[in-house]
Structure 1
């Protein structure tokens, strides 16, 4: 996937850790003070902003750095060059915290749709463009994973093991139903998928099919097979047909032969 499409807020434990760091009142107030300052802030300034000691402020500020919410470096106050040790200063990072359980990826969907609008061909239908863009980004994500992990040949079982790990990071909550079947318990695009199922589910299917292609998994397909409360796609052996709904009421008899 292209880098700008993959810079979504971190999922799972990383986000929960960031939120828990801000659970302490003094730490949260100092974080807000640093963000509002518009310049690097010293430990003394941060301590004074919430009325605590410099030593305690340093502890809280370094916790915020560890969580990726602030960054620190050494700089003279006001940028003035002075003799001696320069104080440690803090400023906000570009990190954005977005916690949703289960995980939602609306920013990814919005990015795909925006690119589809910007790249739509003169003779191309908007929905077709959206599918093309989603498939390409999925393929790029699969290719990036192959480059990173160098898994070699991926048959059905090993391929699904890689898929399970990557798609868990993407918020799909994968569940291994068998050695060659993978179910996705969460739809990262819900509830938008419920508002436009044809478009959103189609893009999701194209994205995951592209991912399999880029990862070069053999013997497995991304099957569009919606289930209530789950992702509309599951990974099954090649050639598997979608489940057909079972009749719940007896069917009327056909016409009687003369």
Structure 2
């Protein structure tokens, strides 16, 4: 599943900097069912108006959701208006500056270990298969159109760029019709385990390209000196670029 946009995750974390909002979120998330503002206010010893305001702010920031339901056994006309109830929209929220996705790396690595342990094959091969499948599944919903056409290719490229942005890669035009990726979501672990993590990343990107209807071979791994020839290399820049459609693939 594609993550929420980075700015929304940052805003959600910032929202929890308020002590009352953090306590209210913890209470609702731990409840296991939808709760009313009266329940939350009573449990935390807050004025009802304060609880109501802060609960609605948590809804606005994407941390809680709302449902309306009549409480008690009585129903039908005369039974009163449905109560406004709150439930967790997410179970946890995380964001980093710059944007990183170490949770994804952990999931891919553990899945690969499980696959290689069960089947007795290469852990490296399992990791690349797992990463490709995850990228393809995550991006497939962005595939558009059918049949070869310039319009479909442009839509697929736009869809892929949107996916890359949502995943934290910071895609930028390389002035040649391709993309450079200015941020590596796995930067810290890639620095110490470059070969494995970059192979995982390349397979994930290739799968995502396929999921968006783009030739996976357009994902090209580059050395740092090659990155500089395609755009300004940054300390945490991704080691891959996306080739333009017309560029020959050797």
TM-score, normalised via structure 1 length: 0.74
Q: Does 1:236 align with 2:243?
A: yes
Larger helix percent = 2
CA deviations 1:209-258 (Å, max 9, x no partner) are 232233333597211114342101111244468xxxxxxxxxxxxxxxxx
Q: Say which of 57, 60, 79 aligns to 1:66.
A: 60
Q: Secondary structure at the match of 2:113?
A: helix
Using a 3 Å threshold, how does the CA distance of structure 1 residues 123 and 197 change in structure 2: closer, same or farther? same
Structure 2 unmatched runs, 5+: 225-234
For residues 102 and 198 of structure 1, the distance between their equivalents in structure 2, rounded to whole angstroms, comes to 22
TM-score, normalised via structure 2 length: 0.76
Q: Does 1:81 align with 2:77?
A: no
The residue that corresponds to 1:150 in the other structure is 145
For residues 128 and 87 of structure 2, the distance between their equivalents in structure 1, rounded to whole angstroms, comes to 41
Number of aligned pairs? 230
For residues 66 and 138 of structure 2, the distance between their equivalents in structure 1, rounded to whole angstroms, comes to 32
For residues 208 and 88 of structure 2, the distance between their equivalents in structure 1, rounded to whole angstroms, comes to 34
- Bigger radius of gyration among the two: 1
Q: Secondary structure at the match of 2:124?
A: helix
**Alpha-carbon distance, 1:169 to partner:** 0.7
Q: Secondary structure at the match of 1:178?
A: coil
CA deviations 1:78-137 (Å, max 9, x no partner) are xx5357436433333443210112211112122222222232374631111111222222
The residue that corresponds to 2:49 in the other structure is 55
Structure 1 unmatched runs, 5+: 1-5, 242-258
For residues 219 and 110 of structure 1, the distance between their equivalents in structure 2, rounded to whole angstroms, comes to 23
The residue that corresponds to 1:124 in the other structure is 121
